[in-house]
Amino acid sequence: MKKYFSLVLFAHTVFALPFAFIGFFLAVTTTEHEFTWIKLLLMVLCMVFARNAAMSFNRYLDRDIDAENPRTAIRDIPSGRISAKEALAFTIVNCLLFIATTLFINPLCLALSPVALAVVLGYSFTKRFTPLCHLVLGLGLSLAPIGAYLVVTGEFALLPVFFSLAVLCWVSGFDIIYALQDEEFDRKNGLNSIPAWLGKKRALQLSSLLHALAVLFIALPLLFTPLSWFYIAGVLFFIVLLVYQHQLVKPDDLSKVDRAFFTTNGIASVVFASFFLLDVYLRS
């Protein structure tokens, strides 16, 4: 199991999973649907299976590209720690487990499960034909709050959409920062990315704009549902870490990209969700 955890970078579930908890408890606290442990477990399993499928498929599809890129040549498939067939089999198993899990949730989640898989798996193709691939990645992760809300209610609503739009803009923004490392490689090999298209400086400007939009969307729920100063504190903390992230990375200095991408965003997601859940607990 250790090699598969390495393949899918399991620790990176910290980006989307906290927002799935937000969507889940948003549904519990703003509708008449009650909390159940089984629904929470099913939601978490869906998150894990979908992300496992998406990451392993990405590694499978990009195996030749990763082998050519000095930065990614150490990844599991190029380095031989796991075979391409094993990665593909792992992808298929997780897709089937994801669909099977939705069988126990509600008819809407089951009906939408192929759509969700199409989005999260489809991202892996996008770098081959559009620099907007970062937005597609953001779209994939943005399904977490809406999906978790649907697990509880089985119906759509406006509030989780704000959180999904926040995730879309937040993830797209920090993925652009991460892609700065491969600007020259992408351009040389005909791959598409915002940095390869716009250059480092303008790519960072676009990332800043997307993060400003993310802040707007996480603030909008304050206008539609009663939230306390705990939630506001979470929003402020999220803003501080976004600003800090952009202070770490400069067009001529990418030495701190990993800290900006992994550490800062992971902390931002977990702490923001913790403030939201604290707000929910104190109001319950």
Tens digit of each residue's pLDDT (9 = 90 or more) over 46-79: 999 999 999 999 999 999 999 999 998 988 888 8
Residue 7 has pLDDT above 60, yes or no: no
Q: How far apart are CA 232 and CA 127, in angstroms?
A: 36
Domain span including residue 11: 2-283
pLDDT of residue 81: 87
Average pLDDT, the chain: 92
Average pLDDT of span 173-193: 94
pTM value?
0.94
Q: What is the CATH number of the domain that holds 113?
A: 1.10.357.140
pLDDT of residue 260: 75
| Per-residue confidence band for 247, with pLDDT thresholds at 50, 70 and 90 | very high
Structural domain total, the chain: 1
Tokens of 238: 């999220």
pLDDT of residue 270: 92
User: Which alpha helices (DSSP H) does the chain contain, by range?
Assistant: 2-8, 17-30, 37-61, 63-68, 76-79, 84-102, 107-126, 133-153, 159-179, 183-188, 194-198, 200-219, 229-248, 257-258, 265-283
